[in-house]
Each structure stands twice: as C-alpha cells, then as structure tokens.
Amino acid sequence: EKGSEKLLALCKASKAVNLCTAGLVKTVKSGQQLLAEEHVPDFSNLSLHETKEAKMKSQVRVLELESELTNERLRFAELRKQHFRLASLVSNEKQNNENGQRENSDQKFGIGENDV
C-alpha cells in the first residue's frame, strides 16, 4: 500500500544503501588514485649525473630510515622491559594481597601456622 510503514522503511533502507554505495565507490576511486600516484617513477629520461644524484639521495634516505628503525626497535625493547617489570609488580602485589587476606581470615578463625 502507498504510505504503509513497510514501504516507508523500504524507501529509507534503499536510500541508505545508495548513500553507502556512493561512499564506497568514492573511497575505491580515491584508493585507486593513491595507488596510481605511488607507482615507481620512470628514470629512463635522466642523465648519468641525475641518475647518480638520485641514487645517492635514495641511499641517504635508506640509511635514515634504517637508523630510525633501529631507534624504534630500541624504544620497543625498553617498552617491553618496562611492561614486564610492571606486570611482575602487579602479579606480586596480587599474590601479597591474596596471602594477606588468607592470613587475615586465618587469624579471624583462630588458625595459626602450627595448626595447619
């Protein structure tokens, strides 16, 4: 029927699907454009000097990135150590709390070490 709740709901759902589809198409086109822009450049038109200069710049960039990676690995290792230390402290604290609660309950019921 015209104007029924089901028809209205269907129309709303149809519009939502159209909007989502349009968004998806836009995202895919944007992604394709980014991929196209990131292709390997054509060096065939460079002179010997330009090629050597580009090669040296690229090598410098590689060394910078390797250095950055090494530094980040060191940072990561320190974070892991700190996480391990903190996890150990938390675990020990939990054990101490559990032992303390056990001792408190033993004292509460008059149980001593020699009684166990």
Contact present, 33 and 25 (Cβ < 8 Å): no
Alpha carbon distance 84, 46 (integer Å):
53
Which positions of the chain have pLDDT values less than 50? none
What pLDDT, on a 0 to 100 scale, did the predictor assign at position 16? Answer: 92
Contact present, 1 and 7 (Cβ < 8 Å): yes
Angle at 91 between CA 85 and CA 96, to 5 degrees: 125
What pLDDT, on a 0 to 100 scale, did the predictor assign at position 63? Answer: 97
Please tell me whether residue 115 adopts helix, strand or coil conformation: helix
The pTM of this model reads 0.46
What pLDDT, on a 0 to 100 scale, did the predictor assign at position 50? Answer: 95
Alpha carbon distance 77, 104 (integer Å):
40
User: Cα(first)–Cα(last) distance of the chain, in Å?
Assistant: 81
- Listed in sequence order, the DSSP H helices in the chain are 5-37, 48-108
Domain residue spans of the chain: 1-38
